[in-house]
Structure 1
Amino acid sequence: MTFERKTLLPVSILAALLLCSCSSTTKKEDITEPTEEAVRYEISSFDELPSSDSQDWATALSAFKVSCRSVGKKADWKDVCFKAQSTDSSEAESFFKNNFTPWQISTQVIGKQTGTVYSKSDKGLMTGYYEPMLKVSSVRTAKHTIPILSTPDDLIIVDLASLYPKLKGMRLRGKIEGRKLVPYDSRAQIIKRHDLDKNAIAWSSDPVAVFFLQIQGSGRLQTEDGKMIRVGFDDQNGHPYKAVGSWLVEKGYLKRHELSMQNIRAWAFQNPDKVDTLLNQNPSFVFFKPREADNADEGPIGAQGLPLTPKASVAVDRKYIPLGTPLLVSVSQSSPALEFVRPVVAQDTGGAIKGPIRFDYFWGFGDEAGSQAGRQKSSVSAWLLLPKGVRPN
């Protein structure tokens, strides 16, 4: 049985599909009509799915129990969350297989006028992210000149759904100039504004580290006196995210296959005079807020408002996948080699995570997690795991 949901096809999703070895062989010039994307959820069985290790199921169960603090309040999830709380980690795999039904996610690009299927794929893109730690100063110094900013008072947010319910989830961000609401400042403009210094949570000596902190969306800041400050995403300036690696490729500084967080860092270290130009290719800018953690070992807070679990939490586009939903993902890439099948839980979102088969995999905290996350750009297949009797929306 297959369920479909159709939406207009954003360019970002089409690009991701093309980058991920989709099965379509249709050339763009062959399409002579407007298209839309149909998201398909096809019922499957666990016998048809690739297998995963028992420890991965146990880790996913721990993450799901966390998510049940939220989704367990919903009627469709109440019973399965109740069962989860009394399930031991050794029974994790059987818990999921006895209480959930897998639904494979796929997409089709369809002609709006003729209904022609121009392309179809069950493959998508998975990248990785992590929780970094930055050495910082609590005050600005001659060395520490890069602020890690909280949300400015002049950032105005307009929830469009209050006026147009069909635009649920869409917001405008800007600032007031005279009687007009205009777009908020870009990254290049923000870094020149010293009036925002009062919003600095801490100061760094490394603009690239702060840039990647913004991409990760959370992190830990260690001050000169040893104090640890945990920060998480609070808001964003409203400008779209643009990958700076594209500029490095266009200029011939790196080959496309060389793009990774580690190689971008190395290039920036060797070319300090070009760092601002590089970073300003991405007009998006993230603002943070300090976050308290009940446990120092607890993961950062995700979009669900709950702590993330290393190697079991993913960021999703909640337009397609509700937060708190378990999934099974099958991941592979050749350079560097990476392959795994793991159950995960949708517990976060991200500015670049757009589309039904587009995920960001949370590797955890620290340098090793950062090394793994920085190298991941994988092809992925995915199955929603829904409580038995529940169908995809």
Structure 2
Amino acid sequence: MVHHTMRMSSAIAPRASSRITHMAMSFRSAARLAWPALILGALAACSSVPLDDRVPVEDKAAKAPAPPASAPSPGTALLRSRARWVAVDWNDLPGWDSDRTSELWPALMRSCEKPPFEWARLCSDARKSGASLAGDAAVRTWLQQRLSPYRVESLEGATDGLATGYFEPLVEARRTAQGPFRVPLYMTPADLATRKPWWTRQQLDTQAGVQAQLKGHELAFVADPLDALILQIQGSGRLQITEADGTRKLVRAAFAGHNDQPYKSVGKWLIEQGELKPEQASWPAIKAWARMNPKRVNELLWSNPRVVFFKEEPIPDPAAGPRGAQGVPLSPGRSIAVDAQSVPYGTPVWLDTTEPLSNTPLRRVVLAQDTGTAITGAVRADYFWGWGEQAEQQAGRMKQPLRMWVLWPRS
């Protein structure tokens, strides 16, 4: 799920998680960025068993050597391109016994729809065991019997990293322009492939000839231009559409393409204008600035020439998020985006971080199911908060210290 995260320092990759920088991605397209990075532009003696660094990143997770047949000795290390995993005891995972571990199971079942090579056998076991596992303790025991924990470090041995957050926007919309709903979300124009780069955001907003080329290509209309921008930054989102007959329909505006113009961070533009300080630049702060400066909103929007186009997709399961880089739907609070050269897709990960603002401990087992261009490095995670206002608030402010452990199959 490629997304431009709205955090202050991450990003998405050509596939699918947390933003405001390479706007060519979608929750699944080709360039998701991390929220902070999107906001700021770009804003940081064990025995070893090396994994094959010569295979492309997409193949490494499938071709890594088989793990030890039994629990590895503490201190044993596995090497990946951008990370080192060091075997530890389960007691080293802070808060392990307090997590609502059973909440992981739906996300695990989704990962098992497209399991990495090492997980094929365990996924078969998981499908058979699922009905008999009742409660957190049972799921926790199941994981401990089959997996081994490894502390994730940089190749230089650093164990501290960064957690940011991303979300799927949820926006009210109409099929036709009416009342305050006048801001169009466009489907792909007919001449997009013949003109590269296509017109800029400012040209689209101000030139009648460009607007004429998109006549009839409106997917829906929203009331706030910043809602349209956030959908484009994240690359995907939910539209709560009120139809002409008054019925309401929940659909997904999915990434369909972009105008090949460079992505420019509106947060960075505000900082350069002296309107915000770097430590203030969050999506809630950007929205607050726009409310206080309505006459400069177009100036803000036009600072980012990139425009993203959408296609409509159904949402068969409202409890599931968009598809991430692994190719399976994301689960709010249990999916993260990672650097695939550090942690393979489908890997359970234990997070030790905090929530934004409150600094309440956030310690839980999640699944690596997504990636992002700003999500690079060993100890790096983009946490999927879900959708809605609270998810937007949390994701837009999340920039927390992080430690993480991977849970890897024994054999």
Q: Give the TM-score taking structure 1 as reference length.
A: 0.72
Take 1:96 and 1:240, find their aligned partners in 2: how far apart are those partners?
A: 44
How far did 1:146 drift?
2.0
Q: Matches of residues 207-286 of structure 1 in structure 2 within 5 Å? A: 207-224=225-242, 225=246, 226-239=248-261, 241-286=263-308
Aligned to 1:77: 119
Q: Matches of residues 186-225 of structure 1 in structure 2 within 5 Å? A: 186-192=200-206, 193-194=210-211, 195-224=213-242, 225=246
Against the structure 1 CA distance between its residues 293 and 269, is the aligned structure 2 distance closer, same or farther, given a 3 Å change threshold? Answer: same
Aligned to 2:150: 103
Asked if structure 2 preserves the Cα contact closer than 8 Å seen for 1:38 and 1:107, the reply is no
Which of 94, 99, 114 aligns to 1:50? It is 94
Deviations 1:351-378 (Å, cap 9, x if unpaired)? Answer: 5434444332111232222222222111
Take 2:186 and 2:391, find their aligned partners in 1: how far apart are those partners?
A: 24
Asked if structure 2 preserves the Cα contact closer than 8 Å seen for 1:53 and 1:342, the reply is no
Against the structure 1 CA distance between its residues 227 and 353, is the aligned structure 2 distance closer, same or farther, given a 3 Å change threshold? Answer: same
> Percent of aligned pairs with the same residue?
36
Aligned to 1:158: none
Asked if structure 1 preserves the Cα contact closer than 8 Å seen for 2:202 and 2:305, the reply is yes
How far did 1:335 drift?
4.5
User: RMSD across aligned C-alpha pairs, in angstroms?
Assistant: 3.1
Asked if structure 2 preserves the Cα contact closer than 8 Å seen for 1:221 and 1:231, the reply is yes
SS in 2 for 1:328: strand
Take 2:256 and 2:148, find their aligned partners in 1: how far apart are those partners?
A: 35
How many matched pairs?
325
SS in 1 for 2:114: helix
Structure 1 regions of 5+ residues with no counterpart? 1-11, 21-36, 109-116, 156-174
Against the structure 1 CA distance between its residues 184 and 323, is the aligned structure 2 distance closer, same or farther, given a 3 Å change threshold? Answer: farther
Structure with the larger strand share: 1
How far did 1:142 drift?
6.6
Which of 83, 102, 109 aligns to 1:40? It is 83
Which of 150, 162, 180 aligns to 1:125? It is 162
SS in 2 for 1:93: helix
Of the two structures, which has the highest relative contact order with CA contacts closer than 8 Å and spacing of 6 or more? 2
Take 1:198 and 1:53, find their aligned partners in 2: how far apart are those partners?
A: 55
Deviations 1:300-339 (Å, cap 9, x if unpaired)? Answer: 3333332221100112333443332221122137745243
Q: Matches of residues 1-393 of structure 1 in structure 2 within 5 Å? A: 20=44, 39-45=82-88, 46-52=90-96, 54-71=98-115, 74-85=116-127, 86-87=129-130, 88-90=133-135, 91-108=138-155, 121-141=158-178, 143-155=180-192, 175-177=193-195, 182-192=196-206, 193-194=210-211, 195-224=213-242, 225=246, 226-239=248-261, 241-332=263-354, 335-389=357-411
Asked if structure 1 preserves the Cα contact closer than 8 Å seen for 2:257 and 2:310, the reply is yes
Take 2:170 and 2:231, find their aligned partners in 1: how far apart are those partners?
A: 9
Take 1:148 and 1:350, find their aligned partners in 2: how far apart are those partners?
A: 24
Deviations 1:91-117 (Å, cap 9, x if unpaired)? Answer: 221222222233333335xxxxxxxx7
How far did 1:265 drift?
0.8
How far did 1:38 drift?
6.3
How far did 1:205 drift?
2.0
How far did 1:55 drift?
4.5
SS in 1 for 2:290: helix
Take 1:103 and 1:189, find their aligned partners in 2: how far apart are those partners?
A: 52
Asked if structure 1 preserves the Cα contact closer than 8 Å seen for 2:87 and 2:148, the reply is yes
Asked if structure 1 preserves the Cα contact closer than 8 Å seen for 2:239 and 2:250, the reply is yes
Structure 2 regions of 5+ residues with no counterpart? 1-32, 45-79
SS in 1 for 2:315: coil
Against the structure 1 CA distance between its residues 70 and 142, is the aligned structure 2 distance closer, same or farther, given a 3 Å change threshold? Answer: same
How far did 1:69 drift?
0.6
